[in-house]
Amino acid sequence: MRPGESAPHAVLACGEVRTCLLPAQQALDSRAAAQLLGLRADERVLLSERPNLYGRSPDILTGVDCPLPSANGSRVRAVGTVAARASLTEGRVLQSSAYFRVPAAGPDHRRPWGHYLVRPGVVEPFGTLPREAVAQGLLAGGRHGDLDVGLIAGGLLTRLLRHPLLDQRPPLKSRPTRLRWVALPADPGDGPSIERFTLAEDELRTVRLRVPEDTRSADVAGLCDDLALHDWLLTTVVRILDGIRLGSAPPPARPRPTAEDDRPPVVRALRPAVDHLLHLWMPRARVAEQLAPLWDVLEERPGFTRQWQTLVQRIRDQLTLHAIPSPHREVEPVP
Amino acid sequence: MTDAVFRETTAEPRTQAVPLSHLSLELGHFYMEDFEAGPEHLRHHFDRVRPWVEAARTVAADRAGGRRPRISTCFLIDDYFTRFSSPAELVPLLLAEADRAGLVVDYLARESACADAGKVPVAEAVAGRLVEEPPPGSYGIRPPATQTGWLANGERSPVARAPQAMKKATAWQPPKETAARRHSVFLDVELWSDTPGGHRTWSCPFLAAVWQLARLGLLRNQGEPVLVPHPHTASGFPEDWDELPPLIRLNPRADPFAAYRTCSVLPNRFLPVEHAVRVILDQTEVDPEALRQVTERSAREAVAVPDSVADRVSYVFYAGA
Amino acid sequence: MLVFAASDKGGTGRSVTSANLAYQRALTGDHVAYVDFDFGSPTAAAVFDVPGAMRGTEERGLHSYLEGDVTEPARIDVWRQTEHPLLRARPNQSGRLVLFPGDAGGGEFATGEDALERCADLLLRLHGEFDLVVVDLSAGRSYAVDMVLAATAHPRMRYVPFRWLVFHRWTRQHVIAASGLVHKENGIIKGGVDRGHDEQTLRDNIRFVRAAVPDPESPLWAQGSPAQAAWMQACDEALRRLAAEHRIGDSVVLGVVPLEPILQWREQLITEEDVLATQIANKETLEALEEIARRLTDDSHWGRP
């Protein structure tokens, strides 16, 4: 056990994941991924090639001393460190993930900083933690000046996006998403469960979990990274299909095709999805064994993989139809 | 990772442990001008150090709970900021003067090894592990007063930034030590300086902080220990400082170099430097796995080790140069 | 594609015209961001009719973002948050239209190295998300112009295509001023070259928009005397010569927006409804805006003059 990983027990864990397309024309190979994710000179980047290409940076810490957001307006001050790390899947999807856990109670004064530094990713409350109110507050987002774990994830993402390895030529237009999560302890004897998965504003998703007390917060963060990755894939592909126009008239306002690119607009819009996104679907690839069953719930309802397969099929059908020369088509393809 | 049968070594970080003493006792930290002052200066230094060495041994024995405490001694020579003479000439002189005072130097280190230990850019790695102490009100955004290359023990005076047109400029405010008790002792430490040519010179306090982390057995590079002692097998010492190993074990029967705690016996002119070292150590996140190994090992031996890394370091400052 | 909207003087209709261009492009299906870098007078919210949505963005707008006080600037989804009844019914197949407002009450400020990096971060992020990014810049040789010239010369932005629109009214003073902003000392071209731009490339990516141009043929002037008509004709001729002498002649003009009475009264988006149903706006105005919007990405209008 790490110092601080043992006692006192965390009774609340929280995090936020940012997910975006890597702004580079070509996906990064393992070596380049290691360069991008090498946030520290002395720590290895975790690299894995099975079941897909994946790299993860070491954790870095950010110190905080501020109130925790809460739903009932109580302002509980807390001090400690928030851990953050970045990951890259198949050299194409970049994620930054910040997370921390909170024990049930702490002393009502601030301790020397060295105390907090040897408890990475722990934020200690002053006094007793009003757990439920803070859990709700964290998901809803706090007031200005409350602990904002999204800022830390966003700050890390900004740092990575400035890396000179990236040529800033993303192969398709897409929007980053945010997934904010909290995990509360499950009742003794119960397994982990997802209490709620909400698509909030355009780019925000919130997830409320119950996990057994001995679950590592890094593992919960890993599960949420996986959920965020697949939710982003669905969101992005749905938007690509939303954006294509039917029939043969090219949308007048899109950037004009270059002279050599005389493919139909539908093909031009769908092709990047095939080149860069369709092979990325692999739920549970890196989820801790104990938490993997949580995916089953989402597969049941709303059916993540079912939706994905439908989208993939639509894209393939469109491309197949457009592969047939126009004069031989009896009807214009309709997605 | 969910399949215990299949393994990928690059996906499973591992961290090697290092052997540990109870105490790492530093007998001196010499700059080239100290050597220039001649053998009398060395003799004077070791005479002053000896009684405190005895005291430190007694304290360590108390802490070891009756068992023989493992204590190793070390000496640091600065070859980073200035260079003088050669190891072949100076090291035997140093050892002879220590011996005359009844002291044994177990390990000898070069200061430049705290910047680059062989091929490992150790100072740069430690700089990457700084986690600034958040002043109250830090909610996740980077504080505006962050200065690259400097580290403070509190909040700096706000920078007089040109305000937006027709907005009021903010009035001067004093700097503030975060852990202050009523009044501040604010310290701002320069960690390095860069030449226009891009060459970085690490500051003396920063290298001294690296030196403390090495002695506490908390430095790793990609899981491998950094500054591993090199046995001294040759009969003499080389003519060039670069040919001297970064850390050399002079006493073959010495206890391990790294230890649960450190103590340094230094003249009091080092006081400001060591205050700065504390500010740095207090804001350095050491390798968690290395930290865990020390915690585990000390618990097995029933030796109390403070949580906070900075609290594992102690000093004796003697009067005069 | 980034489009920077600049003008030497105020009152050129730069903000309202560029907002209308953004709107027109969104109607045709593009995802469009409108970025308010008019730091001294951040009022884009009025054009898009989103005053309500501005509440709560006082400390989260572009001023706060560039000064590092927030990491993400506030964004306003125009279709969803506008109080304009016609806009709220987002037309089918239209793209997103998102406004990035300045801080309400924000002022001009000196931009430093950090603001420049954050500006590049923002423009790159928007470029990755939107088909078109319209950036409205403070008038004259402003910090805003300076910052985006430096940002677009940044190595990180080397592959991001950008174009400049310089707005001016059709008067002697405005023609001379617009030319000065682009061609004279400390102008966009010289300043851009100093910051690392290639002169020819930069020059090729600047076009002019003549705004509030009275059309002598228009019914507005039909009541005038023949003498007045002749005088207007002569003025127009003289201005054309003046513009050509100042290197802002017809070959580098992307479009002409006629004098539009409703825009003289109220800065607003001109909808089809305004032209067809209520007939408060002129058909010519809407057509001019549609045409300029189309030409923004039509390379045949961006060849070398």
The tokens of B137 are what?
Answer: 């009100």
Q: How many angstroms from the chain centroid is the CA of residue B89?
A: 26
- pLDDT of residue A168 exceeding 80, the answer is yes
**Could A3 and B220 be called an inter-chain contact, meaning their C-beta atoms sit closer than 8 Å?**
no
Average pLDDT over residues A210-226: 96
CA distance B75 to C63: 54
- Give the count of beta carbons closer than 10 Å to the beta carbon of residue B234: 8
Q: Which two three-digit tokens encode residue A125?
A: 């409350």
CB B210 within 8 A of CB B126: yes
- Which SS3 state, helix, strand or coil, does residue C186 take? coil
- Cross-chain Cβ contact B128/A3 below 8 Å: no
Residue of chain A whose alpha carbon sits nearest to that of C157: A168
How do residues B204-241 score in pLDDT, each as one tens digit? Answer: 999 999 999 999 999 999 999 999 999 998 888 999 99
The alpha carbon of residue A54 and the mean position of all alpha carbons in its chain are separated, in whole angstroms, by: 14
Using alpha carbons, list the distances in angstroms from residue B10 to A34, A55, A95, B162: 11, 10, 20, 49
A253 with C127: Cβ contact below 8 A = no
Residue C171: pLDDT over 50? yes
Does B309 reach chain A within 8 Å, measured CB to CB? yes
pLDDT value, residue A326: 66
> Which of C41, C65, C108, C118 best tests the B interface by mutation, with the highest count of B CBs <10 A?
C108
Q: How far B165 CA lies from chain C's nearest CA (Å)?
A: 5
CB A78 within 8 A of CB A102: yes
List chain A residues with CB under 8 Å of B9: none
> What pLDDT is attached to residue B69?
94
Q: Which of C70, C71, C109 sits opposite B164 (nearest CB)?
A: C109
Out of A128-142, B21-35, B158-172, which region has the weakest mean confidence (pLDDT)?
B158-172
pLDDT digits (tens, 9 = 90+) for B16-61: 999 999 999 999 999 888 888 888 999 999 999 999 999 999 999 9
pLDDT > 80? residue B261:
yes
Inform me whether the pLDDT recorded for C52 exceeds 60. yes
* Tens digits of residue pLDDT in C221-267: 777 788 888 888 899 999 999 999 999 999 999 999 998 888 888 88
Contacts of residue B233, defined as CB under 8 A and 6 or more positions apart, other chains included, come to none
Q: What is the pLDDT of residue B18?
A: 95
Searching chain B, which residue's CA lies closest to the CA of residue A50? B8
Query: What pLDDT does C263 receive?
Result: 85
CA angle B29, B123, B295 (to 5 degrees): 85
| Chain B residue with the nearest C-alpha to that of C41 | B165
Q: Does C117 touch chain A (CB under 8 A)?
A: yes
Q: Which of A244-258, B74-88, B143-157, C35-49 has the lowest mean pLDDT?
A: A244-258
Average pLDDT, chain B: 91
The pLDDT score that the predictor gives to residue A5 is 43
Is the minimum CB–CB distance between C108 and chain B shorter than 8 Å?
yes
Radius of gyration of chain C (CA): 19
A268-291 residue pLDDT tens? 899 999 999 999 999 999 999 999
Cβ(C213)–Cβ(C259) below 8 Å: yes
Q: Which helix (H) or strand (E) holds A298?
A: helix A294-300
- Encoded amino acid at B220, one letter: R
Return the pLDDT at B318: 93
User: Please, which pLDDT band fits residue B2 given cuts at 50, 70 and 90?
Assistant: very low
In this structure, are residues B233 and B250 in contact, taking their beta carbons and an 8 Å threshold?
no
Which pLDDT does position C38 carry in this prediction? Answer: 93
Mean pLDDT of the region A211-223:
95
Mean pLDDT calculated for residue range C19-46: 92
User: How many Å apart are CA B137 and CA B130, to the nearest integer?
Assistant: 19
Residue A202 touches chain C, beta carbons under 8 Å = yes
Backbone angles phi, psi at B177, to 5 degrees: -75, 130
Cβ neighbour number for residue B109 with a 10 Å cutoff: 26
Instruction: Provide the 3-class DSSP secondary structure of residue B52.
Output: helix
Which carries the bigger pLDDT value, residue B76 or residue C304?
B76
The confidence score (pLDDT) of residue A333 equals: 57
pLDDT for B7 beyond 60: yes
For residue B9, give every residue at least 6 positions away whose Cβ sits within 8 Å of its Cβ, in sequence order, or none: none
Average pLDDT over residues A32-39: 96
Local confidence band at A170 (pLDDT 50, 70, 90 cut-offs): very high
CA-wise closest residue to A146 among A60, A59, A224, A74 = A74
Q: Read off the tokens for C68.
A: 């590092």
C-beta of residue A186 within 8 angstroms of C-beta of residue A210: yes
Are A21 and A93 in contact by the 8 Å Cβ rule? The answer is: yes
For C135, list phi and psi in degrees, rounded to 5. Answer: -115, 115
pLDDT digits (tens, 9 = 90+) for C140-156: 999 999 999 999 999 99
Distance, CA of C273 to chain centre? 23
Question: Which residues in chain B have Cβ-Cβ distances shorter than 8 Å to C115?
Answer: none
Quick check: A242 pLDDT over 90? Answer: no
Check residue A8 and give its pLDDT: 63
Domain ranges of chain A: 10-216, 236-328
CATH architecture for the domain at C2-300: 3-Layer(aba) Sandwich (3.40)
User: Which residues on chain B are in Cβ contact (under 8 Å) with C61?
Assistant: none
Q: What pLDDT does A136 receive?
A: 97
- The strand pairing partners of A100, in sequence order, are A14
| Chain A nearest-CA residue for C299 | A256
Q: What is the mean pLDDT of residues A104-110?
A: 95
DSSP label at residue B265: E
Radius of gyration of chain B from Cα atoms? 22
In this complex, do C71 and B141 lie within 8 Å of one another by their Cβ atoms? yes
* Tokens of residue A270, six digits: 């769908």
Q: How far apart are CA C194 and CA A54, in angstroms?
A: 42
CA–CA dist A100, A85 (Å, integer): 12
Domain positions in chain C are 2-300
Contact at CB, C107 and B167, closer than 8 angstroms: yes
Query: What is the pLDDT confidence band of residue A6, given thresholds at 50, 70 and 90?
Result: very low
Q: Give bridge partners of residue C169 from the DSSP assignment.
A: C211
The pTM for the full model equals: 0.92
Helices A149-161 & C113-129 angle (0-180, nearest 10): 90
CA A138, A144, A146, A151 torsion-angle sign: positive
pLDDT tens column, A143-164: 989 999 999 999 999 999 999 9
| Residue indicated by tokens 């919210």 | C45
pLDDT exceeds 60 at position A249: no
If pLDDT is split at 50, 70 and 90, which confidence band does A7 have? very low
Q: Is B226 helix (H, G, I), strand (E, B) or coil?
A: coil
Average pLDDT, integer, range B289-313 = 95
CA B14, B15, B21: angle at the middle one, nearest 5? 155
Q: Does A3 score more than 70 pLDDT?
A: no
Residue A332 clears pLDDT 70, i.e. is over it = no
Q: Percent of chain B scored above 70 by pLDDT?
A: 95
| Of C41, C72, C67, C243, nearest in space to C142 by CA | C41
Look at B2-11, B100-109, B165-174 and tell me which has the smallest mean pLDDT. Answer: B2-11
Tokens linked to B181? 């008790």
Strands A177-185, A204-211: pairing kind:
parallel
Is A133's pLDDT higher than 80? yes
Instruction: Assess contact for A69 and A130: CB atoms under 8 A.
Output: no
Check pLDDT > 50 for residue A256: no
pLDDT for res A331? 59
* Strand extents, DSSP E, chain C: 2-7, 32-37, 76-77, 97-100, 132-137, 162-169, 206-213, 253-258
- Inform me whether the pLDDT recorded for B96 exceeds 60: yes
Rounded to whole angstroms, the Cα distance separating C13 from C206 reads 18
